[in-house]
Structure 1
Amino acid sequence: MVRRKVMIFCLLACLMLLFTGCTQEKKAAPEQSKEEGLKKITVMLDWFPNTNHTGLYVAKDKGYYEAEGLEVEIVQPGEGSTTDQLVATGKADFGISYQESVTQARSTGIPLVSLAAVIQHNTSAFASLKEANITSPQDFVGKRYGGWGSPVEEAVLKAVMEKAGVEADKVQNITLGATDFFNSIGRDADFEWIYYGWDGVEAQRRGMQLNLIMLKDLDPALDYYTPVIITNEQHISEQQELVKKFMAATAKGYQWSIENSSQAAEVLLNNAPELNAELVKASQAWVSAKYQEDAPRWGEQREEVWASYAQWMFERGLIEQNIKAQEAFTNQFLPQ
């Protein structure tokens, strides 16, 4: 998505402090709606509403949450806090995050857990204008990489360039932050890291020719889950019925979006009318086919995917302590 990454690693110290403070008192059960007898819960997005989130809005608008006895509020993170922080400290019940973020959090003792993979495979790519002639990591040499300033970016660039037999220090890293890919590519940077389901689809819609190098094609370990739906361990241990109901409705929302992509796009637009309608429709048509893809059911996660990427991060110093992959995720709340 258009710079949808918040700084995964920069606020971990703050997150740890928040979590430590909150462990002294348990979070109360979700608030009960007096008027409807529904349990009020909050779902925190990772960024602005986009087609990664459509299943949530479908589940809400179609009444799937209400049928499970839930009143769900879908909100965006504000400045100065991240979804991971709010979910870990119980200020949000569920959220949208990423495998790399959950791994980093758990390595520092913050008990986030992934409940479902929104999309089965990593759809991100290094993108550049066709005329730049960047078709492989060897072509990164002497070029400008524009990113959001995260250590994981440097690690990925270094790993894929060294694997390709070229020196990683031959690329110039430029921190662009939350910029618009279409304004910066070719001007401020020669190549950037995008998510095909949004920027890639938009480029195609605009008739812009790009060279794309998919991350999952560069190293099997980079085919990780991004994004994922998260909660905290306290919810899993003390409010299993709540988690089960939330995931039953959410899975139904994504399944409906898989089977009804054009109508799902309209649901998202009804909830986020500020979005470009043509982009949403094109993106939804592409993303709907990627939600489940080759998995036996939507949301399914595999331990080897978590273990492989955690090991990859550990070997490159992105986490100081490796994690137990089987504790970072669970499939137990997905409908059978």
Structure 2
Amino acid sequence: MAGKEVKFGAISLIVAISLVLTACSSGNNGQTSSAAGASSSPGASTAAGASSGAELTKITQVTNWFAQPEHGGQYAALAKGYYKDAGLDMTIQPGGPGVSATQIVASGQAEFGMGQADEILLARQNGIPLVAVAAIFQKNPQGVMFHKGKLKDLSELNGHKMYVGSGSAFWEYLKKAYKLDQVQEMKYTGSLANFVAEPDSATQIYVTSEPYTMQQQGVDVDYFLNYDLGYKQYGNILFTTEDYLKKHPDIVKAYVEASVKGWNYYKDNSDEINKVLQETNPDLKLEAMAYGAKAEEPLIFGGDAETNGVGFMSKDIWEGLQKQLVDLGILKKAEPIDDVYTNEFLPVK
């Protein structure tokens, strides 16, 4: 999908440093609310559930891109009333170019955000105390796409072009792990035109999107998932701040449980919710969303989620990612990993 370089989870060093230097602002354009007009202030009331007659707690979550299947469960929870049932007046604010969920949540303009695991670690290093409360993707959908039959191993990319966002943490890892010292790095712009015209090139992608685009254009491709190449990080992390979590654990729990319920609904009812996504983002095509929903299913519901449920996070995965970023010099030091994430608010399976 054109423009996905902005959301491509691996955050650049420049962006990481600027997180604490840049003041953030965000309008309400494109926001979707489950109970417009509720008068409670953000986080002011206890999430007690609509059935109790209590006033709904007004909260906002910022996603990491425009509405699409990677956000299907969040929009399912909104459309089916799960947030409202949990006592929440939810507004979903779509991400997009120039929208930083970490900055918006850190500033208090939203209570919850969505991002990648490495973004959480980098934000914390730069003084933004975010905490991951659920990982929607057990395997991050980031990958490297190439023309079919051209690569059997990523090391064979030496001597060829790779379209990639500058400073991407996943790429720094792959270069070191696969000794990619002879790759011609080209700026990723979101367009696949150069990749299509150059059969020996490769490009960063989301496996839920770009392979479908190539399929529609009659271009035979294959891809490696970054997770399977060794850069094991969670995708579409739901996060809040340490301060909000400590002050409003009941709201955090209500939010996480409703979100997980939404993802379980989306798994079997993606065709229904994709129409909701299309209303929010008219550029989406139902056929492309159907492809994305199918492609992402094993990445969300497989792995540890099979046993522990959607959103579960492993200490080994978090520690492994942190060590990789320290080894690369992207992180200065390793902090106690238990401060970075918690499974406390996930529903008991």
Q: TM class by shorter-chain length?
A: 0.7 to 0.9
Do the aligned residues in 2 keep the contact of 1:114 with 1:231 (CA within 8 Å)? yes
3-state secondary structure, aligned to 1:213: strand
CA distance in 1, matches of 2:111, 2:96: 16
Q: Would the alpha carbon gap of residues 290 and 153 (structure 1) be closer, same or farther in structure 2, given more than 3 Å must change?
A: closer
CA distance in 2, matches of 1:155, 1:78: 24
Task: Look up the match of 1:324.
Answer: 336
CA distance in 2, matches of 1:326, 1:227: 19
Runs of 4+ in 1 over 4 A off after TM superposition: 78-81
Do the aligned residues in 1 keep the contact of 2:65 with 2:96 (CA within 8 Å)? no
Which structure has greater helix proportion?
1
How far is the alpha carbon of 1:169 from its aligned partner? 2.5
Pairing 1:10–2:17 present:
no
Pairing 1:243–2:252 present:
yes
Task: Look up the match of 1:312.
Answer: 324
CA distance in 1, matches of 2:130, 2:271: 33
Pairing 1:262–2:271 present:
yes
CA distance in 2, matches of 1:101, 1:29: 24
Q: Would the alpha carbon gap of residues 79 and 204 (structure 1) be closer, same or farther in structure 2, given more than 3 Å must change?
A: closer
How big is each residue's C-alpha offset from its partner over 1:279-315, in whole Å with a ceiling of 9 and x where there is no partner? Answer: 0122112323432213220000001000001001101
Do the aligned residues in 2 keep the contact of 1:151 with 1:318 (CA within 8 Å)? no
**Deviates most, 312-321 or 267-276:** 267-276
How far is the alpha carbon of 1:198 from its aligned partner? 1.7
3-state secondary structure, aligned to 1:216: coil
- Root-mean-square deviation over aligned CA pairs: 2.3
How far is the alpha carbon of 1:79 from its aligned partner? 5.6
Task: Look up the match of 2:232.
Answer: 223
Consecutive unaligned residues of structure 2, counting only runs of 5 or more, are: 24-40, 46-53
Pairing 1:277–2:289 present:
no
- Which of 42, 46, 52 aligns to 2:64? It is 46
Q: How does 1:1-336 map to 2 (within 5 A)?
A: 2-3=4-5, 4-5=7-8, 7-17=11-21, 29-30=42-43, 37-77=55-95, 80-130=98-148, 133-162=150-179, 168-177=180-189, 179-180=190-191, 182-187=192-197, 190-219=201-230, 222-294=231-303, 295=305, 296-336=308-348
How far is the alpha carbon of 1:253 from its aligned partner? 0.3
Q: Would the alpha carbon gap of residues 46 and 142 (structure 1) be closer, same or farther in structure 2, given more than 3 Å must change?
A: same
Q: Would the alpha carbon gap of residues 98 and 39 (structure 1) be closer, same or farther in structure 2, given more than 3 Å must change?
A: same
How far is the alpha carbon of 1:66 from its aligned partner? 0.9
CA distance in 2, matches of 1:256, 1:8: 34
How big is each residue's C-alpha offset from its partner over 1:147-183, in whole Å with a ceiling of 9 and x where there is no partner? Answer: 1212414412322322xxxxx3211111223x23x32
CA distance in 2, matches of 1:62, 1:48: 20
How far is the alpha carbon of 1:76 from its aligned partner? 2.5
Q: Would the alpha carbon gap of residues 154 and 283 (structure 1) be closer, same or farther in structure 2, given more than 3 Å must change?
A: closer
Which amino acid is 2:67 matched to? P
How far is the alpha carbon of 1:15 from its aligned partner? 2.3
Do the aligned residues in 1 keep the contact of 2:43 with 2:248 (CA within 8 Å)? no
How far is the alpha carbon of 1:81 from its aligned partner? 4.5
Q: Would the alpha carbon gap of residues 99 and 210 (structure 1) be closer, same or farther in structure 2, given more than 3 Å must change?
A: same
Q: Would the alpha carbon gap of residues 217 and 258 (structure 1) be closer, same or farther in structure 2, given more than 3 Å must change?
A: same
Which amino acid is 1:184 matched to? N
Q: Would the alpha carbon gap of residues 230 and 9 (structure 1) be closer, same or farther in structure 2, given more than 3 Å must change?
A: farther
3-state secondary structure, aligned to 2:322: helix
CA distance in 1, matches of 2:171, 2:289: 31
How far is the alpha carbon of 1:143 from its aligned partner? 0.7
Which amino acid is 2:107 matched to? T
How big is each residue's C-alpha offset from its partner over 1:164-209, in whole Å with a ceiling of 9 and x where there is no partner? Answer: xxxx3211111223x23x3231347811111111222443455431
3-state secondary structure, aligned to 1:280: helix
CA distance in 2, matches of 1:203, 1:137: 20
How far is the alpha carbon of 1:8 from its aligned partner? 4.4
Q: TM-score, normalised by structure 1?
A: 0.86
Q: TM-score, normalised by structure 2?
A: 0.83
3-state secondary structure, aligned to 2:176: helix
CA distance in 2, matches of 1:218, 1:123: 12
Which amino acid is 1:16 matched to? V
